[in-house]
Amino acid sequence: MHYDCDEDRLTTAGQLAAHDPRAAAQACLAIASDDGVGDEVRLSAAELLPAIDPRAAAQACLAIAGDDGVGDEVRLSAAELLSAATAPRS
């Protein structure tokens, strides 16, 4: 499948969540881990993950937060998302 832009990949991954959550999690993790994708799109992909797959969310957040090529504000947001995704639920 060919995508015109990063946002198309993200939209497709989001739509996939309703039909195949596991595949959607893999797609979102791939987008969030892809350093060729824009910072905000990577973060958006990571933000979809906690509801689908908390472990994949943690991996995605670590990939973004640990990438020094990503802007500081996005890295901070990824770290905050990681904290929220891994917090014990009551």
User: Is 1 a member of any domain?
Assistant: no
> Is there a domain that residue 90 lies in?
no
65-75: pLDDT as tens digits: 999 999 999 99
Considering the domain boundaries, does residue 57 fall inside one? yes
* 18 in Cβ contact with 51 (< 8 Å): no
**pLDDT tier at 85, thresholds 50, 70, 90:** confident
Residues in the chain, how many? 90
29 within a domain of the structure (yes/no): yes
The pLDDT value given to residue 2: 46
- 16-57 tens-digit pLDDT: 888 899 999 999 999 999 999 999 999 999 999 999 999 999
Distance of CA 2 to the CA centre of its chain: 20
**Is 32 inside a domain boundary?**
yes
Q: Work out how many domains the chain is built from and give that number.
A: 1
31 within a domain of the structure (yes/no): yes
Domain extent for 75: 6-85
Please check whether residue 27 lies inside any domain of the structure: yes
Q: What is the pTM of this model?
A: 0.85
**Residue range 8-23: mean pLDDT, rounded:** 86
Q: Is residue 22 part of a domain?
A: yes
Task: Tell me which H or E stretch contains 14.
Answer: helix 6-16
